Amino acid sequence: MAIIYHVKSNVFQLDGKNSTYLIGVYDNKFVTSLYYGKKLEILKPERLSVIRELGFSPSPNDYFYQRSVSLDTLPQECPSFGYGDFRIPAITIEQNDGSRCVDLRYKSYEILSEKPQITGMPSLRDDGNCDTLKITLKDELTSVEVDLYYNVYNDRDVITRHMVIRNEGNEEVRVTKAMSCSFDLRDNNFNFLQLVGTHCEERHIETTPLRHGITKIESRRTSSSHMLNPFMALLRKDTTEDVGEVYGINLVYSGSYEGCIEVDQRHTTRLQMGISSFDFEWPLKAKEQFETPEVVMVYSANGLNAMSLQFHDLYNDCLLKKHYHHPIVVNNWEATYFGFDEEKLDKLVGAAKGLGIETFVLDDGWFGKRNNDECSLGDWIVNKDKLPNGLQGVADICKKNGLKFGLWFEPEMISIDSDLYRAHPDYAIALKGREHLHSRCQMVLDLSRKEVCDYVIKAMSDVIDNVDISYIKWDFNRNITETYSKQLSHKYVLGLYYILETLTSKYPNIMIEGCSGGGGRFDPAMLYYTPQIWTSDDSDAIERLFIQYGTSLVYPPTTMVGHVSVTPNHQTGRVTPFKTRGIVAMSANFGYELNPQVLSEQERELVRQQTHEYKHLRKLIYKSDFYRLRSPFGGNDCAWSFVSKNKNDVYVMYVRILNAATNEFDWLKLKGLHPNRIYQNVETKEKFTGSELMNAGILLPRHPYDFNGLMYHFKVVKE
């Protein structure tokens, strides 16, 4: 049992594999954060609970003669606003008299052996060794009760949290802030790490020293966004990839969110994450409840790579659905954009035959009268001018060439110039009396309305039921504006999950690739439904080094999609070797974003080799440890490796960015091998001990040109 209740000291001890989280109940009233860090054996946990008087920090009435007790200085697990604590609250609840103060006091606890699911939202599965602590707090005046859930994964260093707010009173209240987690760390000696970006430049790593006051990441786009991924981490000042403490938090949610850190006057650090409280208000009538999404908290005492391994294993084991086949695809977007017809596709797919590619994905432009991005979203009816034999005609082309068929949709959108809009203008999110606001010439369907969600399900089902498809690319190319109510944003996300839940249950064998102009909605909740996501609209191999490296901090390579595209690259104009493009794309779910007709015979041979190699690598990627060996951020190269769980099979990828004339000796050191085993380079047959590869490294060759890519495959052999 990973949850121990120390009766005498009124302390809950949550033990992971190498970590401990201690929660106190001060004076049987206030639920406090006592400790989070390396695993502890502790004799007197109450020793960690300290109070000291501080000027300007108010005391509750029951402590009139004990000024040292103040919510402003107690480290707390569920701080509220306006009743003593001036720091950021985790919860605010507006009452009919206008007050937003609640005085939440400890009521009871329960230890559950099953991990509870969250209504209407994805959450992580139990891995078979999970225990849950539920702590209930109560505000006497309003009878609002709050359940704090802590799910402890006993064999990992992972705690997931969420909170349920229940209105047990008789009057309506309004929830205006409800974080999924909040906790206070005992000091502020940290750097702050976030994943920042924009369209075509997602999830770049940014690290800054943590300062006093509030540091915040947020999305107000009803999307987890290209700009700031719902992930943040605190690192000790000396933390690197391989050593030092890290606290990483990731929200299982696809809409507007916030992650806040506050360093206070006593140099303690409060961390919280949840749905964005900006433009948010959720009414709770008597006996109603509100559930927050789940947040995942990972602790590592051994640097960033160890944190990533925890996230990767957890998501592979407990988030992603495992039964899907992840095919090698060829996608026609960069090959044709909107300019295709059946004849062209016949040639394109025909040229893919025999290359080892498994699925053809027909991208945007197959429906309505969509020859550009100005119309037809919502009209999921095949364009017979382009495809006279309908979608089944394309499916038949795929079949005759030994490929499966996949199809692009952008289900959440509506164009003004569409039959759907002409019939149902009210389906678009809009503000009464104001002109529409366009982004990529399109508007968003109001998924907060069930009938709109049901329309989407029916329109997609009508297509899926009438053509053999095994794969869907689900795109989302604008963010949401004109939020006409403070509930719209969250209701939209719930509507989206309802659609995805319905469709994935109805068509369990159709794999959905997520996409939002690339990686604009790369979050764990989307991954629950769409187990792989088009990582970025930037397909340039060099820019992808940064994007994939940053993404790998949290998300396993099994969730990313990488394609080899043509050169000059369509986004950057850069020319990189075909081999390098393959190495980068093969480190994710692999495919091609080009017309195979344009390939030279030599390139076709390379494609055959790549798909052959990838079929072996794919099996490994899904059961491996991913190591970052060299960072492209601030460097001139990037290296990473996949090491099978039994440490016997190893792929190492290396890309040098700009070349130099110097003849340097550059040794690349590997990680995660067995020091005493003998590893053989599959290509050269040369043998090494694991300790040599890890401590002395492999000597990299002189690079012949810019953007040189190298791939090594080692296997353990018996001596």
Q: Does 406 bind ligand DGJ (CB under 6 A)?
A: no
Residue nearest to ligand DGJ (CB): 364
Catalytic residue among 85, 264, 446, 537: 537
Of 274, 517, 524, 562, the one binding ligand DGJ (CB under 6 A) is 517
Looking at the Cβ atoms of 358 and 364, the one nearer to ligand DGJ is 364
Q: Does 474 bind ligand DGJ (CB under 6 A)?
A: no
Q: Which stretch binds ligand DGJ (CB under 6 A): 23-31, 77-85, 238-246, 513-521?
A: 513-521
Looking at the Cβ atoms of 276 and 565, the one nearer to ligand DGJ is 565
641 with 671: CB under 8 angstroms?
yes
Looking at the Cβ atoms of 360 and 679, the one nearer to ligand DGJ is 360
Measured CA to CA in angstroms, residue 600 lies from 61, 351, 605, 608 at distances of 81, 11, 9, 12
638 with 631: CB under 8 angstroms?
yes
d(Cα 636, Cα 263) in Å, to the nearest integer?
A: 35
Closest CA to 271 of 217, 203, 331: 217
Looking at the Cβ atoms of 144 and 375, the one nearer to ligand DGJ is 375
* Residues contacting 64, CB < 8 A, separation 6+: none
Q: Write out the H or E segment, with its range, that includes residue 495.
A: helix 488-506
Q: Does 518 bind ligand DGJ (CB under 6 A)?
A: yes
Looking at the Cβ atoms of 147 and 364, the one nearer to ligand DGJ is 364
Q: Contact letters (x/-) for ligand DGJ, 314-353, by CB under 6 A?
A: -------------------x--------------------
Looking at the Cβ atoms of 372 and 597, the one nearer to ligand DGJ is 372
Q: Which stretch binds ligand DGJ (CB under 6 A): 140-148, 212-220, 448-456, 514-522?
A: 514-522
d(Cα 49, Cα 74) in Å, to the nearest integer?
A: 9
* Residues contacting 294, CB < 8 A, separation 6+: 118, 121, 123, 124, 160, 161, 162, 180, 251, 252
446 belongs to the catalytic site = no
Q: Contact letters (x/-) for ligand DGJ, 417-456, by CB under 6 A?
A: ----------------------------------------
Q: Does 543 bind ligand DGJ (CB under 6 A)?
A: no
Q: Does 202 bind ligand DGJ (CB under 6 A)?
A: no
Q: Which stretch binds ligand DGJ (CB under 6 A): 281-289, 494-502, 510-518, 570-578?
A: 510-518
Amino acid at the residue 287? K
Minimum Å distance from CB 516 to ligand DGJ?
7
Looking at the Cβ atoms of 478 and 656, the one nearer to ligand DGJ is 478
Minimum Å distance from CB 348 to ligand DGJ?
16
- Coil, strand or helix at 284: strand
Minimum Å distance from CB 196 to ligand DGJ?
19
Q: Does 562 bind ligand DGJ (CB under 6 A)?
A: no
Q: Does 414 bind ligand DGJ (CB under 6 A)?
A: no
d(Cα 424, Cα 445) in Å, to the nearest integer?
A: 10
Looking at the Cβ atoms of 264 and 475, the one nearer to ligand DGJ is 475
Minimum Å distance from CB 517 to ligand DGJ?
5
Minimum Å distance from CB 325 to ligand DGJ?
21
Of 537, 540, 613, 625, the one binding ligand DGJ (CB under 6 A) is 537
Q: Does 556 bind ligand DGJ (CB under 6 A)?
A: no
3-state SS, 458-493, equals HHHHHHHCCCCCCEEEECCCCCCCCCCCCCHHHHHH
Q: Does 515 bind ligand DGJ (CB under 6 A)?
A: yes
Site residues for ligand DGJ, 162-191, by CB under 6 A, read none
Of 145, 147, 363, 446, the one binding ligand DGJ (CB under 6 A) is 363
Catalytic residue among 475, 538, 625, 649: 475
Looking at the Cβ atoms of 87 and 478, the one nearer to ligand DGJ is 478
Minimum Å distance from CB 475 to ligand DGJ?
5
d(Cα 503, Cα 234) in Å, to the nearest integer?
A: 38
Q: Does 534 bind ligand DGJ (CB under 6 A)?
A: yes
Residue 493 has which token pair? 């996300």
Minimum Å distance from CB 224 to ligand DGJ?
15
Minimum Å distance from CB 404 to ligand DGJ?
18
Minimum Å distance from CB 392 to ligand DGJ?
22
Q: Write out the H or E segment, with its range, that includes residue 340.
A: none
Burial 197-229 (b: 16+ CB within 10 A, else e): bebbbbbbbeeeebeeeebebbbbbbbbbbbbb
* Residues contacting 154, CB < 8 A, separation 6+: 1, 2, 15, 16, 17, 129, 130, 131
Burial 434-449 (b: 16+ CB within 10 A, else e): eeeeeeeebbbbbbbb
Q: Please, what is the Cα angle at 679 between 678 and 683, to 5 degrees?
A: 145
460 with 380: CB under 8 angstroms?
yes
Query: What is the full DSSP assignment across 357-405?
Result: --EEEE-S-SBTT-SSTTS-TT--SB-TTT-TTHHHHHHHHHHHTT-EE
d(Cα 715, Cα 677) in Å, to the nearest integer?
A: 10
Measured CA to CA in angstroms, residue 429 lies from 412, 415, 419, 482, 604 at distances of 11, 12, 17, 7, 47
Looking at the Cβ atoms of 230 and 591, the one nearer to ligand DGJ is 591
363 belongs to the catalytic site = no
Residues near ligand DGJ (CB under 6 A), total: 11
* Contact residues for ligand DGJ, defined by CB under 6 A: 333, 363-364, 408, 475, 477, 515, 517-518, 534, 537
- By annotation, the residues acting in catalysis are 475, 537
